[in-house]
Structure 1
Amino acid sequence: MLENKEAVIFDLDGTITDSMWVWADIDRTFFEQRKIPMPPTLNKEIEGMSFTETAEYFIRTFQLPETVEELKDIWNRIALDKYAHETPLKPGAGEILKYLKEHHIKTGIATSNSRLLLDVFLKERDLEPYIDAVTTSCDVNKGKPEPDVYLKTAEKLQVKPEHCLVFEDIPMGILAGKRAGMQVCAIEDDYSIHLTAEKKALADYYITDFRQVLDHTYEDLRK
């Protein structure tokens, strides 16, 4: 999987860290407090959106009084401590980051989440030395499934897209990586377990644990 790869770009939520439960809790509490029925298709509607795009969607759809920045600040304040202390690394994530560093393969993060939450997550786990470039979808014109966030990260890393490998956990993110001209490995996550077949249909590889990349027990979907 890593053959001829000069850079590896990771999504954050559901990929490097088990964190999707945070947003499920935040959404549930948010709607209950405002006495707004939570749409059953909400997750599908906002999948892949940037933090800013999600705030714009909430304000527009639910006629909220907050500005985009005010709403983002509310979410950041609620989630900050959870990203600092409660969202664990996915199995094998630490090992693969160490391996990539030792083998001089560049690393990046391309996330739809906020820069504040990304920064605190990396800092509290001493992961900053292992990451060479970070980009949020708010830094580019469009969120996932558009390729912008992955192309921008590759540009920062000074690596051509065809020499990049992407790790993603949801279909919109996998599509973003593929549209950027990169190979994509889908990773299992409880939040998207019901989308496994769709993820496998889109991706080049599939894993349940990052250690499968290192011991070559990953599922090759190109066959």
Structure 2
Amino acid sequence: MDTVKIEGVIFDLDGTLLDSTWVWSQIDTDFLKKRGFEVPKDYSTAIMAMGFEEVAKYTIKRFLLQETKEDVMAEWDVMARDAYAHDVKLKKGVKKLLLWLKKQDIKMAVATSNSASLFEPCLKNLGIYDWFHSFTETGDVKRGKEFPDVYLKAAEKMGVNPGNCFVFEDILPAVLGAKKGGFQTVLVREPKWNYAKEDFDLICDYAVDEIDEAISLLNQWKCDMI
């Protein structure tokens, strides 16, 4: 009997591969404080699955800012650039998983709401930029991560079948978007989001606390498919 091969893996960046959510929390605080606002409690949840441009539009509308989305995005980019180039690190277990996937000759790609001006210097500084087959931003497609578009585009670039491709994410709306595209999904639990167990049990194919725990489940998936 033939073995069904894992053809590819698509990773989110912020909060999944990169320990970078602190950067955006600080930017939210500083950006809004400069304009006389505090960060509302529901702000992070409201924007979590949006693309960069969507967040800018939402922020302008919510706080009635007299600025263009281009101006807002440019300011965020400047605020984040130094941190991404020098201070953002990989999350625990990431390098171990990526090295294992390289050894298995499994293609890897990135699907992110971030912009290349930030993530390229970061991944190059961390020495893993060239490990990825391709990069797809939510700005390359029409809808955010609550829809499958960005993952389908990433899979198309790699030339892989969504059913034999895993998507790693740290937020449930994005996992749901990937599932709509027919992908195998792994939630990397992030305490910040405080999801109830029954929520991710219903939505995700798999959930892990540390990303390198996925090595055993990927091996098991291959065995189960024989």
Q: TM-score, normalised by structure 1?
A: 0.91
Judge conservation of contact 1:174–1:199 (CA < 8 Å) in 2: no
Change (3 A) 1:20 1:198: farther
Deviation at 1:104, TM superposition (A): 1.1
Classify the secondary structure of the residue corresponding to 2:110: strand
- Comparing 97-106 and 149-158, the one that deviates more: 97-106
Change (3 A) 1:165 1:23: same
Q: Percent of pairs identical after alignment?
A: 37
User: In the alignment, residue 70 of structure 2 is paired with which amino acid?
Assistant: E
Q: Which runs of 5+ in 2 are unaligned?
A: 222-226
- Comparing 101-110 and 201-210, the one that deviates more: 201-210
Classify the secondary structure of the residue corresponding to 2:19: coil
Judge conservation of contact 1:188–1:196 (CA < 8 Å) in 2: no
User: In the alignment, residue 90 of structure 1 is paired with which amino acid?
Assistant: K
Question: Which residue is equivalent to 2:224?
Answer: none
Question: Which residue is equivalent to 2:66?
Answer: 65
User: In the alignment, residue 8 of structure 2 is paired with which amino acid?
Assistant: A
Classify the secondary structure of the residue corresponding to 1:101: helix
Q: TM-score, normalised by structure 2?
A: 0.90
Deviation at 1:134, TM superposition (A): 0.6
Q: How many residues align?
A: 218
Question: Which residue is equivalent to 1:110?
Answer: 111
Q: Within 5 Å, give how 1:32-43 maps onto structure 2.
A: 32-43=33-44
Q: Which runs of 5+ in 1 are unaligned?
A: none
Judge conservation of contact 1:169–1:188 (CA < 8 Å) in 2: yes
Question: Which residue is equivalent to 2:165?
Answer: 164
Question: Which residue is equivalent to 1:84?
Answer: 85
* Runs of 4+ off more than 6 Å: none
Question: Which residue is equivalent to 1:185?
Answer: 186
Judge conservation of contact 2:184–2:205 (CA < 8 Å) in 1: yes
Change (3 A) 1:216 1:157: closer
Classify the secondary structure of the residue corresponding to 2:18: coil
Classify the secondary structure of the residue corresponding to 1:135: strand
Distance 2:218 2:165 in 1: 20
- Comparing 173-182 and 64-73, the one that deviates more: 64-73
